[in-house]
Amino acid sequence: MEYGWSWLTGLTWQWAWAFVLLPLPWLYRRVLPPARRQTAALYIPFAGDYVLQENEQLARGAVRHRNWQLALAWLAWALLVAAAARPVWVGEAMQLSLSGRDLMMAVDLSGSMQIQDFMLHGQTVDRLTATKAVAGDFIRRRKGDRIGLILFGSRAYVQAPLTFDVTTVNTLLQESAIGLAGRETAIGDAMGLALKRMTQQKDTQKVLILLTDGVNTAGELKPLEVADIAAQKGIRIYTIGIGASEMLVPSLFGSRRINPSRDLDEGTLQAIAERTGGKYFRAMDTAQFERIYQQIDQLEPLERDQRLFRPVHALYVWPLSLAMALALLVFWLRQRT
């Protein structure tokens, strides 16, 4: 962004032309005729005999008082014009890496994500906790991509629109909770919502990372039909099936092994990835989970397009606030006289 006029280093006026308004009150006083003075209703020819010397001193004091009011009013007007000129402080130039890629993440929050079949730092955790830990690291590494976040269960919601602010996206992911969007799994609706958001932007690479541990049990859209639309629009979809292949659970006769991922629809997830030019991954433990996101990093490398960015801080609030305070002071002084 270019700024046109600067008096000091870093201080810039976006609308510097507003300073031409400074003499406006003076022109108003010079051009328009003065207000008519009211004539006295009663004329006393000998009234001058009652004018005392102290009254003359009071009159001179009143003139000085009015001069002070006029000076404060002029200062308030000058500050108001300065605020209208939009002063900003332009910071030092910083380099910002941009990739030109839109990367949307769709994360499953259905009831099955509470199954505790992952190990994290030596402790057993549920699937969503493992997802937050691994996906959070992935998001932080994607500086330069515009990243968005969709959370889905029975319904799908945009938790974070596409943005370069990866810190905020990660924070919103960490604040998500199981069941927030319902207990079922609307995979097709989540994909459809992601496509709707990504197709609003032109001339960018578009990638969807879909993470789920179940099968499409809710919503109106069918996942494979949405995948065909994504393929037509050039959107790659990487699907991740999450959940261990077996785990021990207590029973009346000791412990028994079960498959906690028996509801995972791997066939559909693999078909979605193949139809869009993406890839299907299976995450059965935290180590696999981390390797998956490392592979996605390799498949979708960050481009090193550097652009200069200057942070801009608006300063108009300071002269505007001072002008308002001076205007109130002038009003108060007039009320006293």
For residue 165, pLDDT over 50 is answered with: yes
Angle between helices 266-276 and 223-232 (to 10 degrees): 10
The pLDDT of residue 46? 47
Q: Does the predicted model carry a pTM greater than 0.95?
A: no
| Percent of the chain residues topping a pLDDT of 90 | 28
Same domain, 146 and 284: yes
Query: Domain for residue 194, yes or no?
Result: yes
Same domain, 163 and 68: no
Same domain, 237 and 225: yes
pLDDT bucket at 250, cuts 50 / 70 / 90: low
DSSP 255: E
Residue numbers of the domain that contains 27: 5-31+50-91+310-336
Same domain, 236 and 325: no
Per DSSP, the three-state class of 257 is: strand
Same domain, 266 and 301: yes
Query: Domain for residue 38, yes or no?
Result: no
CATH code where residue 144 lies: 3.40.50.410
Q: Which residue has the higher pLDDT, 243 or 170?
A: 170
Same domain, 140 and 22: no
The pLDDT of residue 275? 95
Same domain, 246 and 320: no
The pLDDT of residue 25? 82
Query: Domain for residue 40, yes or no?
Result: no
Same domain, 199 and 231: yes
Query: Domain for residue 39, yes or no?
Result: no
Query: Domain for residue 37, yes or no?
Result: no
For residue 253, pLDDT over 70 is answered with: no
Number of other residues whose CB lies within 10 A of the CB of residue 304? 9
Same domain, 288 and 322: no
Same domain, 109 and 154: yes
Per DSSP, the three-state class of 13 is: strand
Q: Please give the tally of structural domains in the chain.
A: 2
Q: Where are the beta strands (DSSP E) in the chain?
A: 5-8, 11-13, 87-90, 94-98, 101-108, 118-120, 123-125, 146-152, 156-163, 205-212, 235-242, 247-251, 254-258, 280-283, 305-309, 312-314
Instruction: Name 149's bridge partners.
Output: 105, 160
Same domain, 294 and 317: no
Number of other residues whose CB lies within 10 A of the CB of residue 40? 8
Same domain, 139 and 276: yes
For residue 118, pLDDT over 90 is answered with: no
